Amino acid sequence: MSTRSWPGGPPSWHRSSTSSRPGTGNNPATLRSHTIHYFVPCIRTTKEFAMTAQNTFQTVDAVVIGAGFGGIYAVHKLHNEQGLTVVGFDKADGPGGTWYWNRYPGALSDTESHVYRFSFDKGLLQDGTWKHTYITQPEILEYLEDVVDRFDLRRHFRFGTEVKSATYLEDEGLWEVTTGGGAVYRAKYVINAVGLLSAINFPNLPGIDTFEGETIHTAAWPQGKSLAGRRVGVIGTGSTGQQVITALAPEVEHLTVFVRTPQYSVPVGKRPVTTQQIDEIKADYDNIWAQVKRSGVAFGFEESTVPAMSVTEEERRQVYEKAWEYGGGFRFMFETFSDIATDEEANETAASFIRNKIVETIKDPETARKLTPTGLFARRPLCDDGYFQVFNRPNVEAVAIKENPIREVTAKGVVTEDGVLHELDVIVFATGFDAVDGNYRRMEISGRDGVNINDHWDGQPTSYLGVSTAKFPNWFMVLGPNGPFTNLPPSIETQVEWISDTVAYAEENGIRAIEPTPEAEAEWTETCTQIANMTVFTKVDSWIFGANVPGKKPSVLFYLGGLGNYRGVLDDVTANGYRGFELKSEAAVAA
């Protein structure tokens, strides 16, 4: 029986440097323009950029792709703290990243409000507020809008602009980045903050083009769209599916839920918070963030060190009952006992408890059977705000499509293998994303020697430390392949700070290019694989290994060793002269 509390050993916090370094003096804080015809001002709109000649390009120090948490912080670190010239791109019309697009009813973070935010600025923390223990999509979007304006970042972004390609020009030591409108930028550094969950996964169902109603993917939900009074089908019962199903059930005429894989889920525990509670959290923020950064999952609670089988069955039941009442998926998996994620016997005790709760909640035994998972509790732990309860409503039904598959979509709805036509006005696809590497593969990215990212990642997406990849100099990724599997904002801050410090080091020391060696990348991939194999997560099909995308080879996509350990690895690499990286100096190139 395993007693590991976290793969890779107990996390130990190694504080990453967050000191800002000034610019070198050779990087003016205004865009440099190299154009044949005229100077293109930095405030020029996307449409105006599209009108410029093809042989016109702008030169900046850094290009940032994406305007979610990662892109926003990267622009702040590189421009506001280092004085570099930076331009950011996002195909959305404003900041927010995944929270800009995922406007579906019920959209909610599964991380508690007080730690689903930036920690880098004490004033920002003290000025922040929230209404409930968990923060909603509109609140997150408003928060990110406020951050952009607070730090005067909006002028550095080109919204409504999609990056189509990026090519490394080895002779110049620059990246050439081209937008969908034809604008061309050259930059020494590219920081990719394209997000884990933004490349939509849309299943190709037979006959979908014949459907006379509406089809909506949850990640492309029209702003303000209401489905009240309509017959709706939802495909997908992961985190997004559970949220949208719970929100739609009271307002639609009829809701048909097509269930492929029943999910383990616990209550989210969303509760109102008082001003006093918020003030107490703010007063303790230094300790809270220190704990987050040395922890495993970085959700703001102490992970358990007690193995599940070291206590009696009744003691386990009491621990699970308390966690069920308090709420939170990651809390249930990691705060209750130390080995639920690493030991199958321990895992079954948690899984059995949740299964019993589902059966107790859903009144109809056949519906309960369709929605009760079997096997390991080994996907990203979910939490919900009344998901199982909605199946007690007379207007909600569950269709188990593993035993009764979807045969086709017709003009009037969805036909299952038993010949039943489920008449629908709207089909909602809560089918998730081509996570982690999907967005990279949808761009044309070519590194040294013309190597395309799709060819480099032919077997599986790989990286060194989740931030860089061989053959792609000065090409940095935020939440790239095999980055930390945690609450995302703390991991994003960790990576952006390391990238920013690395850029500052390169600027101060005349480094023309920095990239990992193939050996270091292979070693990191093997490390992530070994740690993943110490967990139960590898024993089930899941999006965290890419198994949700038809035709995609499942592979390890995350470092499961915890944020504290990850920060220690980054510090060790830096302290040892950027171990695993090849640094090419300007002087060596000139010689």
Same domain, 235 and 350: yes
**How many Cα atoms within 13 Å fall on the side-chain side of residue 484?**
29
Q: How confident is the model at residue 434 (pLDDT cuts 50, 70, 90)?
A: confident
**What is the pLDDT, as a whole number, of residue 138?**
98
Same domain, 377 and 299: yes
**What is the pLDDT, as a whole number, of residue 305?**
98
Q: Is residue 398 part of a domain?
A: yes
**What is the pLDDT, as a whole number, of residue 194?**
93
- pTM, to two decimals: 0.90
Q: Who's near 497: CB < 8 A, 6+ residues apart?
A: 16, 17, 18, 77, 120
Q: How confident is the model at residue 566 (pLDDT cuts 50, 70, 90)?
A: very high
Same domain, 387 and 444: no
Helix/strand/coil for 62: strand
Same domain, 422 and 441: no
pLDDT tens figures, 283-302: 999 999 999 999 999 999 99
Angle, alpha carbons 515-517-518 (nearest 5°):
125
pLDDT tens figures, 127-138: 999 999 999 999
Same domain, 455 and 540: yes
Orientation of helix 285-294 relative to helix 563-575, angle to 10°: 80
- Please spell the DSSP secondary structure of 130-171, one letter per residue: -SBSEEEHHHHHHHHHHHHHHTT-GGGEEET--EEEEEEETT
> Structural domain tally of the chain?
2
End-of-domain residue from the set 366, 401, 429: 429
**What is the pLDDT, as a whole number, of residue 14?**
28
Note down the domain range covering 478. 58-95+153-200+435-585
pLDDT tens figures, 200-254: 888 889 999 999 999 999 999 999 999 999 999 999 999 999 999 999 999 999 9
**What is the pLDDT, as a whole number, of residue 33?**
32
Q: Who's near 352: CB < 8 A, 6+ residues apart?
A: none
**What is the pLDDT, as a whole number, of residue 264?**
98
CATH at 174: 3.50.50.60
User: How far from 63 is each of 39, 94, 320, 441, 478, CA to CA, in Å?
Assistant: 19, 17, 47, 18, 13
Q: Is residue 403 part of a domain?
A: yes
Same domain, 388 and 491: no
End-of-domain residue from the set 429, 452, 486: 429
* Token pair recorded at residue 219: 């990640």
Same domain, 243 and 384: yes
Dihedral angle, C-alpha 390, 395, 400, 406, nearest 10 °: -140
Q: Is residue 148 part of a domain?
A: no
In the predicted model, what is the mean pLDDT of the chain? 90
Q: Is residue 102 part of a domain?
A: no
End-of-domain residue from the set 402, 429, 456: 429
Q: How confident is the model at residue 545 (pLDDT cuts 50, 70, 90)?
A: confident
**What is the pLDDT, as a whole number, of residue 213?**
98
- Residue 325, Cα to own-chain centre: how many angstroms? 27
Q: Is residue 37 part of a domain?
A: no
Same domain, 484 and 369: no
Same domain, 299 and 322: yes
Same domain, 365 and 269: yes
**What is the pLDDT, as a whole number, of residue 37?**
25
Same domain, 267 and 344: yes
* Token pair recorded at residue 407: 């045969």
Helices (H), 28-82: 46-50, 69-75
Same domain, 517 and 581: yes
